[in-house]
Structure formats: C-alpha cells, structure tokens
Structure 1
C-alpha cells in the first residue's frame, strides 16, 4: 500500500475510527489537561519508562515543584532523591537544567515552539513534539514506539523508514483537536496495537490495513518501533541504580555502600567515580552523598 494523498480513503477511515473510539481508548492520566510545566515533567519522566510507574512520581514531583522556578531553586540532591526508583536519573538533572533555562530565558515558562523546546537539555524530537502538541495544541505529529506500530500496521501495512513515518503521521493529523488525536494514537498503541497485538479487541480493527490484508507484521522492522533492550541484570546500569538507590543526604562510607549494594569494592569505586563526574553525587572524606548545590 502506498499512501500519498492525506484526503485519501485510508487516512479518512483511520481518522474517523480513532475519533469514534476516543472515549473507549482514553486513559485516565493525571497530567492530561495540566499546565505546560506539568506536561513537560510528564513527558520527561515517560522517556523509556511506562505510564504505570510514572504516575506516582509525577504527582509527587509537581506537588513539590509546581513551576519551573521551584525546580530550578531546588538542590540537585533533593531532585535526585525525589526521582529515586524511577530510573534513568540523568533525566532528573536535565529536567532541573531545563527549568533553570526556562527561568533565565523564558520568564519562568515552558517555551511553546518546537525549536525552543529542542534546545532544552534532555529534550529530543519526541518530547518536543509531545509538549508542543499536548501543552500548546501545535499541529505536529507525536511518534513514539506505540505510534510507530499503529502507523506501520493500521495505516500503511508496510515497514516505514523514519522520513516516511514522519510524513504519514503528519498527513494523518486532523485539522483541529490535534492534541487529543495524538493522545488517541498513543492510547491505541499502548493498549491494543502492542508488540503482541490484541487485534480481536482493537476498537479500530475494522479499518486496520494490516488486518484487512494479512501477512507478516510490518511493525517489526518499521521506524520508531523499539527493539528488545540489553539485559539489565548484571549491567552497569543496574550497578549505578544500586548505588543511587542507597544514597542519603548524609555521607556513606564505601564499606556501608558495599554492604547495601552487594557490589565489589572495585565495581563500587568505578561506579561512584562515574556518578561523581556526572554530577549525581559527591565524594568527600566522610564518604559518598547526594549533591547539595543550589543554583539560585
């Protein structure tokens, strides 16, 4: 199937089916309809982390830091402590850096253009598009691994290259209510058009190009669709998480850290050295602790 005309039949069918099924597909997400800052925080936390894990952290974070200025003023260690257990803590540092830029350059507000959003630390193509769409109703496609599967299966029934996926997603967008439409695509991919699809229960199954044509799953090699991640058990990422999960505001000796993490001294010294260089913790005569620096 080749799709070129955004007014063509398959675009119209899928747009209509998504709109009709919106009520069935919509997830009850606490950041839906929240402030631009709330949306920005949610999209940062959702990078490589499932919704079910993010909700509790998001609620705690926006309660503690209801605006960019609140996050920018907070000590690094305090931000990291609140992030503990969510994973990928580098996102917490980048989020605080982004909040500082918002205060310094945007009057304490989240910028509303794709270009400005992309210049913020920790913000890539997806996060910038999601914030622009959900916080500011910009008419831009929002493509993650969930939407990548929907595009390959329901719309095109073929594996798409990155440029093709972006083009088809743009052509699929309606003229209005774009944020809600993008959310429907995400909801569909997260709940039905999954790696192991639930086709018989899917609310748009009657217009799915792949289901109509049959054949091999086109999403397995399509752009934006994630591949299996490297093993976590025994990885450096696991070791880093063990150290960060053990830290406190008061310094901990290497001996105590070794007891808490179960790591060998050589592994512990290597991991702590890397975390100190990256700004996740401090190392002094008394041991290892959360950083206490306050930017303003």
Structure 2
C-alpha cells in the first residue's frame, strides 16, 4: 500500500503591488543615488552607442577610462569610421571580446553611408547596424533619444525576477515571459519609461546584485516578492566563464603582443620563448604569452581564430593587426 504523501507547507502569498508604487519608489531612489556616469545626461547618441557596446559583459570601472579616451579621439561616427582597424583594436585595449570593436567600426561606416553620419533615432534602424542586437537597440533608443522601448539587461532581469516573481535569479536565458513582464512593467508615459529603464538597471547594478544583494538599502524592500517568499535559493548555480588556461586567454595574450608591435611579429617569436626574449619591442607581452606554457594545438587554434575573425592578418613577415 503506497505511503500517503507528506503535507507541504503552503507557499507564502506574494505581495501584489501597484506598478505605480514600484515606479515611484525606484525612480526616486535613482534620482538620489545614481552614479555620475559620463554617458548619462547630455551625452551624444554616438557616445551612448559606444558605451552600450563597451559595457557588454564588461564592468563600468574598466569601460569608463577607455570610453573617455575613445570619445576624445573619435567624437563622431565619421571620424571613427575613417580610423584604421589596427588603431581601433589598439584603443580597445583589454576590454575583452575585441570583435565588438570591429563591429562598432562597421556600424560607424554604415551610419556614415546610410544615415548621413547621425546615429539613427529609432529601434528598427538601430537594430540593422552591425553588432547591434535587441538590447543595444532598445537601450540606445531609450537613453539617447528618449524613446519608449523595453530595455532588458541582466540587471533588469534580476530585479524583475526578485521583485515581482519571487525568484532569486532569472532563468539562465532570456524568455518570452520575461520580455512580457518587462513590457507590462514599463510606464506608459514616455519620459517615465526612460527613467524607469535606467532606474531598474541601476538598482540591479548597485543594490539587487547577483551574489550579495544589499536588501536593507533597497527602496522597495517591503514590496519585494523574493523577500516575502523567504528569499528562496536559486534553482541553479550560475557558472562564470572560465579564463585561465582557455583558448580565450591565449587569444588575448596574442592580441596583446600584436597591439604592442609596430610591425609584423614573426611566427617564430610566438612559438620560441628564447627568440622572443631577444625581441625588445614586445618582449614583455611575448613573455606573458610564453608564461602560459601553451601547447601547440591551442596556440594554433588561437591564431586561426584571430585570422578568421579579422582580428589579425598573416604575411611572410608575420602576424599583425589588420590595416
């Protein structure tokens, strides 16, 4: 005879909070506590676009100094489109995923060719630019042009998951249900919608963080569904992307060598540590590459990947950044 199922404790009722209350509390907090970032308030649309591309999977503290130097050097899409790819990649430095730099370069060229040098002011045309996805198009439309668009990044997804759904973390990948919830939460007034997008994003970045949320500092602590549910643990453990020993690390080390070099780097220098030590111009970066003790197939994959992605070129003289 089967054993009767044990009774389960009822799940606590989640709070039903008018959206207007959430909007008011979070935007008021944002207006008091928001970081003074250079791509906010009075920044050009080009500056906003550059910031959004740079901030993809890269923290603000690393982006801001590069962004400031970038906008001083290339204050318009036309000036950036005229730059040599090698200069673009050197200026990108160690922001990671340098293909983003080349895509931004291609986007600038298209802005010049198809939009008379002005960043397009609507979601659909922004989405057609190289390297611009749904999030970036929505963010630029909202933050550069004041459009009412549904902006959903990792921080906003986490705020929505905790505040409204009662979950510790959003789903591992963006779902249609999350987009529908974000659309429901978006204020109808255009100006309020822009402020709400920025405020929810900032709340996720500063207070409702993934690992150590500062719940006592949250302006909607008493309205949070996750708190009301007893702060349940996440249903999965987020896994960060590994770095040490990966092909990505080797690619980054090779790119550092090419950025430091003013002429092609002979292949022997990439393979032979003793020869590399004698190459004074880039000996420091070559030393870092060889210190990884990379095995031959991994270095081959890294070089092949850089060539395929257009981040490097190869000639009889060696490897170099694209001209």
TM-score (norm 2): 0.82
Matched, 1:168 2:181: yes
> CA 1:187–1:15 in structure 2 vs 1: closer, same or farther (change >3 Å)?
same
Partners of 1:204 and 1:217 in 2: CA distance? 20
The structure 1 residue matched to 2:246, chosen from 224, 230, 235, is 235
Matched, 1:36 2:45: yes
Q: Which has the higher contact order (CA 8 A, sep 6+)?
A: 1
Match of 2:254, SS state, is helix
Alpha-carbon deviation of 1:229? 2.5
Deviates more, 1:19-28 or 1:243-252: 19-28
> CA 1:217–1:113 in structure 2 vs 1: closer, same or farther (change >3 Å)?
farther
Matched, 1:81 2:81: no
**Aligned residue number for residue 202 of structure 2:** 187
Partners of 1:29 and 1:178 in 2: CA distance? 20
1:71-220 matches, cutoff 5 A: 71-158=80-167, 162-174=175-187, 175=189, 176-196=191-211, 197-217=213-233
> CA 1:10–1:147 in structure 2 vs 1: closer, same or farther (change >3 Å)?
same
**Aligned residue number for residue 316 of structure 2:** 285
Contact 2:110 2:129 in 1 (8 A): yes
Match of 1:269, SS state, is helix
Q: Give a deviation string over 1:72-106, Cα, whole Å, max 9, x none.
A: 11111010010121110000010000000001101
Alpha-carbon deviation of 1:202? 1.8
The structure 1 residue matched to 2:255, chosen from 244, 255, 258, is 244
Segments of 5+ residues of structure 1 without an aligned counterpart are: none
Alpha-carbon deviation of 1:194? 0.8
Partners of 2:148 and 2:17 in 1: CA distance? 21
Alpha-carbon deviation of 1:264? 4.2
Deviates more, 1:18-27 or 1:110-119: 18-27
Partners of 1:217 and 1:152 in 2: CA distance? 13
Partners of 2:231 and 2:243 in 1: CA distance? 33
The root-mean-square deviation of aligned C-alpha atoms, in Å, is 2.1
Contact 1:153 1:217 in 2 (8 A): no
Segments of 5+ residues of structure 2 without an aligned counterpart are: 1-12, 274-285
Q: Give a deviation string over 1:92-136, Cα, whole Å, max 9, x none.
A: 010000000001101111111211111111111111111011011
TM-score (norm 1): 0.89
> CA 1:211–1:270 in structure 2 vs 1: closer, same or farther (change >3 Å)?
closer
Contact 2:14 2:225 in 1 (8 A): no
Contact 1:137 1:179 in 2 (8 A): yes
Match of 1:27, SS state, is coil
Alpha-carbon deviation of 1:217? 4.5
Q: Give a deviation string over 1:213-235, Cα, whole Å, max 9, x none.
A: 324156x56xxxx9323311111
Partners of 1:88 and 1:12 in 2: CA distance? 39
Partners of 1:28 and 1:257 in 2: CA distance? 43
**Aligned residue number for residue 276 of structure 2:** none
> CA 1:281–1:249 in structure 2 vs 1: closer, same or farther (change >3 Å)?
farther
Alpha-carbon deviation of 1:10? 3.2
Match of 1:139, SS state, is coil
Match of 1:246, SS state, is helix
Contact 2:215 2:221 in 1 (8 A): yes
**Aligned residue number for residue 56 of structure 1:** 65
